[in-house]
Structure 1
Amino acid sequence: MKWTVLLMVALLASRTMAQAPPEALIAGGEQRIAQFSAQLKSELLGAIGKGGLAAAVDVCHQRAPVIARQLSTDGWLIGRTSHKTRNPDNAPDAWENRVLQDFLQQSPQQWRQATLIDGRFRMMKGIPTGQLCMQCHGRSIAPEVQQAIARHYPLDQATGFQPGELRGAFTLTFTPVE
């Protein structure tokens, strides 16, 4: 793992303009996204099994930021963002917003973008709205779930989605560690 990070640092140090990133960085980003997604989904399903959908809102509120911090190591920063945020702390920056707008015009198979900008690797991968997501992000949300959302996210905009629509994206930045 250490040699992979050293290789990534060397590759990034030699690039200052937007360029296609090396496959090692893309693979590293995909691995962190898969870990984040799997861990969050596992905890959501566990919460639903124990306390219903309202408990899943609590997990998203409490655990998603913790999982992101745990995976944000060795120069990597991972999170989630959306064009319709639930948590204002996850609002997209200018680059993320442009990518989200591109994703909205594309098919789900194209919802991945990676680039090198000013010595940093940036990557986003779209999150399609699945059936499980519909319970908290769809057009018809149970009253107890709406109450849990309002309690944790009073500025929520992340509802009204249909299955398969872009709900948001995982976002990653890799900056060489010196």
Structure 2
Amino acid sequence: MNIRRVLFITILLFSAPLHADDAKYFEKQANQAIKEFAETLKSALMLSMQTDGSIKTIAVCKDIAPKVAQQVSEKYNLDVSRTSLKVRNPENRADDWEKKVLRDFNTRMEKGETIKQLRFSEQVDIDGQKQRRVMKAIGTDLVCITCHGEKIPEQIQAELNKLYPDDEATGFSIGSVRGAFSVKEITKAD
């Protein structure tokens, strides 16, 4: 066996565990980022509902959630966001990959999976670069219904109309897939 062949085989043998470790590390970081984002956002929503009331709570999703996403993204060196098939803020619109996963979440739920089970991870090819991605479903809780439900109080609807004239994010029921947390590995092109 020539030296090049030995070197090539050695590189292959040692690089496989590194890629597996990278994937495990990404999964662990993504899970922690999602958990932190979800817990922080839910706590802020609950506190605002209890102290400020429904109309002022709109600001939590509008102003605070993007800041939390940015902080969590920076902390974990990932791109962390929220998206949905029916968005309120156009900046949260799902890309094609996210739309596919969200539709799959709805199908999986119809087949009996719970919100907690709705998670998907995949390595995708973006313009010739590999990128790991994860999505975890966001269920519609009682705290969500006031602004995202089927019957939104008139005052809240008026404020939503003012802030989001193209709002699509209504008509949800408790337990349905409201959207998902989406995590992307930051690539060199980002």
Q: Which bin holds the TM-score, normalised by the shorter protein?
A: 0.7 to 0.9
**Of the candidates 124, 131, 136, which is equivalent to residue 117 of structure 1?**
124
Mark the CA change 1:120 to 1:75 in structure 2 (over 3 Å): closer, same or farther. farther
Equivalent of residue 166 in structure 2, options 155, 161, 171: 155
**CA deviation vs aligned residue, 1:78-124 (integer Å, no higher than 9, x gap):** 00000111111100001001101111101234410001123211010
Q: How does 1:9-158 map to 2 (within 5 A)?
A: 11=19, 22-73=23-74, 75-107=77-109, 108-118=115-125, 119-158=130-169
Relative to structure 1, is the Cα distance of residues 129 and 143 closer, same or farther in structure 2, using a 3 angstrom cutoff?
same
Q: In the alignment, which residue of structure 1 is the partner of 2:11?
A: none
Percent identity, please.
35
SS at match of 1:102: helix
Residue correspondences, number: 162
Aligned residues of 1:58 and 1:148 also touching (Cα < 8 A): no
5+ unaligned residues in a row in structure 2: which ranges?
1-17, 110-114
TM-score w.r.t. the length of structure 1 is: 0.83
User: Quick one: which amino acid aligns to residue 123 of structure 2?
Assistant: L
Distance 2:81 2:116 in 1: 21
Distance in 2 between residues matched to 1:139 and 1:172, nearest whole Å:
29
Question: Aligned to 1:23, what secondary structure does the other structure show?
Answer: helix
Task: Note the C-alpha offset of 1:177.
Answer: 6.3
After superposition, the CA RMSD in angstroms is 2.1
Spell out structure 1 runs of 4+ moving beyond 4 A: none
The Cα offsets for residues 129-178 of structure 1, whole Å up to 9 and x where unpaired, read as 11111111111111121122122211111111111111100000012569
Contact kept in structure 2, 1:81 and 1:170, CA below 8 Å:
yes
Taking the aligned partners of 1:131 and 1:49, their CA distance within structure 2 comes to 13
Unaligned runs of 5+ in 1: 1-9, 13-20
Larger relative contact order (C-alpha < 8 A, sep ≥ 6)?
1
Report the Cα distance in structure 2 between the residues aligned to 1:89 and 1:79, rounded to whole angstroms. 10
